[in-house]
Amino acid sequence: MTTTRTIPIEINLVTKFQMLQTLVVPSSLRFANRIFLRRFTIVRAFSSSSNYVDQSRGGLPRFYSETLPASKGNVIRVKGDEFWHMTKVLRLSTNDRVQLFNGKGGLVEGCIQNIDRTGLDFVASTDLKLVPPQNSQWHVFAGFGTLKGGRADWLVEKCTELGASSVTPLLTERSASISENRVDRLERVILAASKQCQRLHEMILKPPVEIGDLLHLVSVSFFLLGKKFGHELKLFEKKISQCIIAQSKLSLVATAEATPVLNALTSLGKECSGLIIVGPEGDFTEKEVNMMMEAGAKAVGLGPHRLRVETATIAFLATVMLWSDSQQTSVS
């Protein structure tokens, strides 16, 4: 005798899917279906504006605004891309609660008071909160000017998420230029990544520099000292090269067959700020490496394999950020 399982009419769609896969889908395929179901559930959770929450930590959705209300009850106008994102993409509506940040540590919570064709009015429900920047300040110099197919976007996005203070395109003999029209796109990538990872202090995308410009302060101080005191410039070369080390705190260059980065960090004490330098596709030339070493940078290795520029940069940054965090935790 065949029995029939009935599904109550009022049961929701997700439960129907679960019960249906139990009846029909072989057990060997249920793992893949659970992945789909998890994605499906997330999509449904974000479809209602009144119940929308941020996916990273369960907080409110966060948007960028150059101007923030200073105190509770103040109202500001939100226009442009963020207005479009709020109302057209996420379909937020009047009385929905959101957060605004300014990329300089400012954060305020409030709700949407009014929406019209040109923008919306945001009313603050809390006073402006100012969060200081993190103690670790790592600045990335990478030769990503020739990367194609979204790889440069990915590098900049992940640097933002990991907490780099700045990213600078490094111009080298094997990566001599970067297109100017990529700058606007990379700025948008940084903003989107900042919102996604709940970062309050913006990562700065700096203008491209040549390797020689990394030593610019050395050459400038070199000239001024020589001129001021009337001595031969060569007498000051070693002393001023050491000065740049103090100014940049740590200058680490990823090179092949060098001391592993964790070993190098351990030997360098508890300093949690500095420069990390990654070469272009094809790596630095021997001349470029020697120039940086002579200026006081330390060569570090990232493992036995040959890495792409973006892979090396992210592996390098993730390592120093986690190391910095462990040092600060041990001190506190």
The arithmetic mean of pLDDT across residues 210-220, rounded, is 61
Are 236 and 112 members of one domain? no
Identify whether 252 is part of a domain: yes
Instruction: Express each pLDDT in 100-129 by its tens digit.
Output: 999 999 999 999 999 999 999 999 999 999
CATH number, domain with residue 98 = 2.40.240.20
Structural domains in the chain (count): 2
| Predicted local distance difference test score (pLDDT) of residue 248 | 58
Tell me how far apart the alpha carbons of residues 309 and 142 are, in angstroms, rounded to a whole number: 8
| Predicted local distance difference test score (pLDDT) of residue 149 | 78
Instruction: Express each pLDDT in 29-58 by its tens digit.
Output: 444 444 433 333 333 222 233 333 333 455
Token pair belonging to 286: 């021997």
Largest CA distance in the chain: 108
Are 198 and 229 members of one domain? yes
Are 251 and 162 members of one domain? yes
Phi-psi region of 322 (alpha: psi -120 to 50; beta: other; left: phi over 0): alpha
Identify whether 300 is part of a domain: yes
CATH number, domain with residue 313 = 3.40.1280.10
Instruction: Express each pLDDT in 270-302 by its tens digit.
Output: 667 889 999 998 889 888 888 888 888 888 999
Are 108 and 214 members of one domain? no
**Tokens 């599904």 — which residue?**
7
What are the E-state strand segments in the chain? 62-64, 75-78, 97-101, 106-115, 120-124, 129-130, 137-142, 166-171, 204-205, 209-210, 251-254, 273-278, 298-300
What are the E-state strand segments in 82-158? 97-101, 106-115, 120-124, 129-130, 137-142
DSSP 8-state code for residue 186 = H
The arithmetic mean of pLDDT across residues 260-271, rounded, is 79
Identify whether 98 is part of a domain: yes
The overall average pLDDT reported for the chain is: 75
Intra-chain end-to-end CA distance of the chain, in Å: 70
